[in-house]
Amino acid sequence: MAGVAAIFVGVAVPARAADINAVIEPIQRLIDGLLQIMKAGQATPFRQRVSMLAPVIDQTFNLSVVLQESVGATWAALPPEQQAMLTEAFRRYTVVSYVNSFINFNGQRFEIAPTTRAVGVEQVVQTRIIPKSGTGHELDYVMRDGASGWRAVDVLADGSISRVAVQRSDFRRLLTRGGPKALADSLRSKSADLSDGAA
């Protein structure tokens, strides 16, 4: 990132210094990746920007956990081939959503809080996206430690609106109406719409 860090005043409960670095590192990597595709801009084909960001998303998020918690208890009952179908469609949708949301670089800057906030066994990394002019937007990443280290398992818009919770409502509605295929088809359709058919 461009080396900016905000000091957030509140009730953040810091982990040990070494642990904080491990928790924040994936989000720093994500921000670096977002800046890269933003600076590449629309002059770079959408599909190429997807290829640039996809490995960063894999290293930042535990997409398996995000998908399972978005689907809910139904996930465990799905056969492996349906789980694989949904995993592939969800990964593509997640990457395309980020590429679509971060199109151009116009002097925006990203700030990461220097401390994390503990929520049970998870840690919350607070970030802000600040445009060249105007007010900023807060995005908090809920991090969970696992076999691959710390990975994001949820994103909180404005510090409170859970992306997993929003997805859970939508995903369960689709699963009830048409099963896993309906959900996979919906994710593929959204990916096509967001990329104008390029991904």
Predicted local confidence at residue 2, as pLDDT: 36
DSSP the chain: --S------S------HHHHHHHHHHHHHHHHHHHHHHHH-TTS-HHHHHHHHHHHHHHHB-HHHHHHHHH-GGGGGS-HHHHHHHHHHHHHHHHHHHHHH----SS-EEEE-SS-EEETTEEEEEEEEE-SSS--EEEEEEEEEETTEEEEEEEEETTTEEHHHHHHHHHHHHHHHHHHHHHHHHHHHHHHHHTTT--
Q: Tell me which fold the domain 17-194 belongs to.
A: Nuclear Transport Factor 2; Chain: A, (3.10.450)
In this predicted model, what pLDDT tens digit does every residue of 153-195 receive, in sequence order?
999 998 789 999 999 999 999 999 999 999 999 999 999 999 9
Whole-prediction pTM value?
0.87
What pLDDT score was predicted for residue 6? 33
Question: Per residue in 4-48, pLDDT tens?
Answer: 333 333 334 455 555 899 999 999 999 999 999 999 999 999 999
